[in-house]
Amino acid sequence: MAATFFGEVVKAPSRAGTEEEEEEEEQNRRDTPEDREVRRQLARKREVRLLQRQTKTSLEVALLEKHPCSKFIIAVGTNATAFLSSFVMNSGVWEEVGCAKLWNEWCRTADTVHLSPTDAFCVFYQLKSNPLVFLCQCSCYIAEDQQFQWLEKVFGSRPRKNMKVTVLTCRHVTEYKTSESTCSLPSPFLRALKTQKFKDSACCPLLEQPNIVHDLPAAVLSYCQVWKIPAVLYLCYTDVMKLDLVTVEAFKPVLSSSSLKSLVKNIPESTEILKKLMTTNEIQSNIYT
């Protein structure tokens, strides 16, 4: 197996790969009908569905095939979603247009309408004043076998190329590869990774090799690279992976980007909203501890 710069794993041709396929075929021959039925049921359970959360009805076409889109902003993880909630969603009126319903070993998306920072969710919003702008708040883990499903349900099989995609996420600082000691790094800090078609300047230094990105952000960036869609990932390296004020504010340089600067109106007011969100989260955390 080989890892690309975006972090997704691809199969390298080899004799071992052929042997693995032969073993898989042999296993399929030995399987009983009950074994195959169990696998079918598990595959159905792991299916990613896009729904209207209020009506629980499935979207018949991919989200961005149904709605024209010029800007698509995706936040993955607790701190990234808190940043968009405080600084972007607070500055305009956003209408929910769908949500992803999924289950895997690590999470089950919440069904509640009023979400809290501790819930697992993946919700899509459209800006009322500019319907070409979409936003995704994703706090849940999307497993490797579910990522392509998510991409097809959101972007479609032939995505439009006249949109710009921005992804925000966090990783632990110990995953950052450098010749220096990670103890000496001023955590948290930002790095950017962009596709070839993204021509704007990034709001922070570019991610250095041999660092790679992982999970859904890597899948989105790889998808955009293949389909020649301008996309940039802003990756915050931090030593605090739970909801953290300093980590959330580390994304502030992104507010000057071409995708976000027109969406943010009052940064001081947004900062106060962020502090209230942190307080609410602390209260809820204390209830369950």
Residues 6+ apart with CB under 8 A from 236: 79, 80, 168, 169, 170, 171, 188, 189, 190, 247, 250, 251
Q: What is the pLDDT of residues 79-134, one digit of tens each?
A: 999 999 888 988 788 999 999 888 888 877 755 555 555 567 899 999 999 999 99
Q: Give the bridge partners for 9, in sequence order.
A: 3
Secondary structure (H, E, C), 45-67:
HCCCEEEECCCCEECCCCHHHHC
DSSP 11: P
Q: Is the pLDDT of residue 244 over 70?
A: yes
CB 154 within 8 A of CB 59: no
- Residue 17 CA to residue 19 CA, distance in Å, equals 5
What pLDDT is attached to residue 286?
47
CA–centroid distance for 225 within its chain: 16
- Residue 112 CA to residue 133 CA, distance in Å, equals 25
- Residue 283 CA to residue 248 CA, distance in Å, equals 18
Q: What is the pLDDT of residues 118-176, one digit of tens each?
A: 567 899 999 999 999 999 999 899 999 899 999 999 999 888 888 999 999 999 999 99
What pLDDT is attached to residue 227?
94
Fold of 41-277: Rossmann fold (3.40.50)
* Residue 141, CA distances (Å) to 17, 103, 207 in order: 28, 9, 23
pLDDT band at 59 (very low <50, low <70, confident <90, very high): confident
What pLDDT is attached to residue 2?
42
- Residue 45 CA to residue 168 CA, distance in Å, equals 28
Q: What are phi and psi of 287, to 5 degrees?
A: -65, -40
Q: E strands, 4-157, where?
A: 9-10, 49-52, 57-58, 71-76, 94-101, 122-127, 133-138
- Residue 57 CA to residue 76 CA, distance in Å, equals 24
- Helix (H) or strand (E) run with residue 19 in it: helix 15-30
pLDDT band at 10 (very low <50, low <70, confident <90, very high): very low
What is the model's pTM? 0.81
